[in-house]
Structure 1
Amino acid sequence: MSPTSSSDEVPLPVPYMGFEFDSAQRLPLLLCLDTSSSLSSHGAIGSLNSALASWATSLTEDMALSAAVDVAVITFGGSDGITVWQGPVPLGPTAPEWPHSPFVPAHEFKPPTLRAHGVTLLDRALRLAMEVVTDYKAGLRAEGLTYYRPQICVVTDGSPSDERGSFSYAYRELLPELRKAEEERRFRLFAVGVGERRPGAEGVLKELAPHYHAWLDGFPFAELLTAMSHSAKATQGGAAEAEFQEIFARLKRRRGGGQVPA
């Protein structure tokens, strides 16, 4: 995490400036997206950008989600390796601390236009995602605001790598903390693979998210984001764990075609 902007820089927008909260609980939803060079083929990055744009529109049109969901995006790929986004604005490889934040209220969320290049620093992106969520929850508490259990959705079509592009097991350093976070219900983690299955890649997702992992054929980003919306609604409704498992099971069964059921 990095400090807030210095006085000679344009200050970042503060979440909810002039926004009426009423008594709505906040629901942080962080997308951790692979934008490495592996997404440059088969129109994958274009499909992701299109799906993000449609999803952003659907959030604003859904009164319940628009009122409660806060969206942040972290990408791994590109020249910086990691990029934190506040809506369409790239903040660089680190995230500002509260009261500034990558999270944007759903009714204001405009997705970035993503490009595919670089390597797959999944472990660093996920570690940063966890830090961003932790900082945001602390900031909400400091403001006297309540929140639902956050969602982190990791989406990748490549194997985790180091700076040279070689396969890396560095993500395993996160596993003890992820298991502890799961036990303490700090957030719910979804790990989803898309595109061509590489040897060992599906096993990585299973290690990261034992209960919510899947490898989907093709690049069904629209259906995946729809599933995240369904999960957010289930969270708002106080659903039992079985309902989240069913939402994810339906996504896994679709395997590249069709729509996620409402």
Structure 2
Amino acid sequence: MPSNNDDLIINPTPRCACMLLLDSSYSMHGKPIEELNQGVNQFIEEVCQDKFASFAVELGVLTFDTTVTEVVPIQSISQVNTPVFTAQGATSMGSAILRAIKLLDARKEEYKKKGVAYYQPWIVIMTDGEPTDEDVYPQAAAQLRRSGENNKYLVFGIGIGDYCNLNKLALACPANRPPKKLSGYRFRDFFKWLSASMAQVSVSTPGTSIDIPSTKGWEDIRI
């Protein structure tokens, strides 16, 4: 299997990177983490079924509990082995945000070095609680929000269950795209929307206005 950078040479298709930041703290134990596993698996399968999107979309996955784990390094989604998540520990969401920004910035530099065009990376944060790394989260959230509002990334926040602190999550999201609360554990509905949106972006021209309008369904989605 080629390395991530070799793939940029073999496959020069413009890239759209999607980074999932997934809460794997202990409160996700049981049905929530089971449904999350199924939803991410569905997302990977549906994107890979789209011939063009399977070449264009790159996926990275970070989980955050007491620590931040790079479960899936950013790579072509067609090369991703479906991850399995478990729940434990606290909620280091601020540290996950900083790690995601660092990884995506590094990946964009690789695109530039290899002469591969790219779309705005997407960052999706899913949590059922609130950050426990309060020494890190405010600064990290503010940095991500500024980047989202400056169109450096497309940022989406998803609150899970009845105890998610949407106000805290909103600090990391652009003012014009506040977080949404998942109805029950309908992860598959959300990931179905996400896969369709990624597929739409993958057939557009990088840098054109479709990068933002492709997310217009966000206002209408009922999850």
TM-score (norm 2): 0.87
Matched, 1:250 2:214: no
- Aligned residue runs from structure 1 range 58-207, under 5 A: 58-77=46-65, 81-86=67-72, 102-162=73-133, 168=134, 170-198=136-164, 201-207=165-171
Question: Which aligned pairs between 1:26-65 and structure 2 lie closer than 5 A?
Answer: 26-41=15-30, 43-65=31-53
1:233 is displaced (CA, Å) by: 3.1
Partner amino acid for 2:99?
Answer: L
Deviations 1:81-138 (A, max 9, x none): 110023xxxxxxxxxxxxxxx1121111222111011100100001111111001001
Per-residue deviation, 1:230? 2.8
- The answer as to whether partners of 1:32 and 1:73 remain within 8 angstroms in 2 is yes
Aligned equivalents of 1:180 and 1:48: distance in 2? Answer: 28
Structure 1, gaps ≥5 residues long: 1-11, 87-101, 163-167, 256-262
Deviations 1:39-63 (A, max 9, x none): 114x111111112222221121111
8 Å CA contact retained: 1:34, 1:77: yes
Q: C-alpha displacement at 1:243, in angstroms?
A: 4.4
CA distance in 2, matches of 1:180, 1:124: 17
Deviation by residue 1:133-157 (Cα, 9 ceiling, x = unmatched):
0010011111111111100000011
Of Structure 1 and Structure 2, which has the larger fraction of its residues in helix?
A: 2
Deviation, 1:174, is 2.3
Q: Which moved more, 1:171-180 or 1:135-144?
A: 171-180
- Number of equivalent positions: 215
Distance in 2 separating the partners of 1:69 and 1:243: 15
Segments of 5+ residues of structure 2 without an aligned counterpart are: none
- RMSD over aligned CA atoms reads 2.2
Displacement of 1:77 in angstroms is 1.4
Please say if residues 119 and 211 of structure 2, whose CA atoms lie closer than 8 Å, have aligned partners that are also in contact: no
- Aligned partners of 2:152, 2:75: CA distance in 1, in Å? 20
The secondary structure found in structure 1 opposite 2:55 is helix
